[in-house]
Amino acid sequence: MADYNLKEIIGKFDVTDGATPYGKGHINDTYLSNACDPRFILQRINNNVFKRPQDVMENIVRVTAHLKKKIIEEGGDPKRETLNLIKTYEGEPYYVTPKGDYFRMYEFIEGAQTYEIVEEPVHFYNAAKAFAKFQKRLADFPAEKLHETIPSFHDTTVRFQQLKEAIKKNAAGRLDSVKEEVEFALAREKDVSVIVDAIADGSVPLRVTHNDTKYNNIMIDDETGLGICVIDLDTVMPGSLLYDYGDSLRFGTNPADEDEKDLSKVYCDLNLFEQFTKGYMEELKDVMTEREKELLPFSAKLMTYECGIRFLADYLDGDTYFKIKRPEHNLDRCRTQFKLVKDMEEKENLMKEIVKKYD
């Protein structure tokens, strides 16, 4: 049971209606209003995940203001194409309870919805265009002005060091059972710093990065089927567009579950890779540097590898971070990611040809 009075919280904002639980999110508490016009979404920010909710909200205020300006310049609809915060009666973008809970409110986007599964290849193409348009509109935003809401989130050098520490500690006594996986991970050490180094030397610009580019973070228009609004901006922070592109392909091109035990089902579907790349390049190829384009196929492999070593490190640590449903759950997840890495390595030249096709 929530340890707060929902009616009292809603009363702090410039609305007059109640709300009920909504959506399938696992991080924040989310509610949808019942009958007011316009309807609204109310959320409590999970301050166990986001240690400084005020930084999260400061990022969202800055990014959505920039997006609105761009959308208006393009002749679009800022009420549907970006999130719109509803302020409190004091004019603030969020409310903090006496107990320290942070609440925010958005206008609900009507005539659109999110989907959990990509049912047709063209849907993945539309997802790519939506994420790419989000980044294109923010290409001239000074990313260094954003807070890092989760430090070193996609710094693979940091993740690799965490794996080496987990191997050294062997906290759960599982090292002998994962020698093959450890060998696979350590053999690719040369890859871990490639994007970080490219950001450092300027060949890959520091950009605004979404960092959670799942298909269900796009509002799909009910009539056109197009992606109209990217949502869930809590992890928006400085990074590389390669992170978002690569992570989209990590989960989007693999037809198997993330924890599939039958590794014969795990592979990179090149048709889906092409659909996403086509949509992404159509929106962003004139914005991207040559080094960014060159690293697109590599980024898909690196983000998959990064996820795999995080699962492996957590398995060695005794499953302290990711939730598990069985003793070897994290190991199954690791093996799935590593199988996908291997498949991407074998298809690297084909992936490069697809990128060049749409450049």
pTM score, whole prediction: 0.86
Residue 70's CB is within 10 A of a number of other CB atoms, namely 19
CATH 3.30.200.20 occupies which residues in the chain?
A: 6-110
Rounded mean pLDDT of the chain? 91
pLDDT, tens only, 68-112: 999 999 999 999 999 999 999 999 999 999 999 999 999 999 999
pLDDT band at 28 (very low <50, low <70, confident <90, very high): low
CATH 3.90.1200.10 occupies which residues in the chain?
A: 121-357
E strand residue ranges, the chain: 19-21, 29-33, 40-45, 95-96, 102-107, 112-113, 207-209, 218-221, 227-230, 237-239
Residue 259, pLDDT above cutoff 70: yes
pLDDT, tens only, 261-283: 999 999 999 999 999 999 999 99
pLDDT band at 1 (very low <50, low <70, confident <90, very high): very low
Please state, for a pLDDT cut of 70, what percent of the chain lies above it: 96
| Structural fold of domain 6-110 | Phosphorylase Kinase; domain 1 (3.30.200)
Whole-number Å distance between alpha carbons of 68 and 114: 21
| Structural fold of domain 121-357 | Aminoglycoside 3'-phosphotransferase; Chain: A, domain 2 (3.90.1200)
Is the alpha carbon torsion for 83, 88, 93, 96 positive or negative? negative
Residue 207 has a pLDDT of 93
Q: Which of 230, 205, 28, 207 is nearest to 131 (CA)?
A: 230
Lowest-pLDDT choice from 180-194, 206-220, 306-320: 206-220
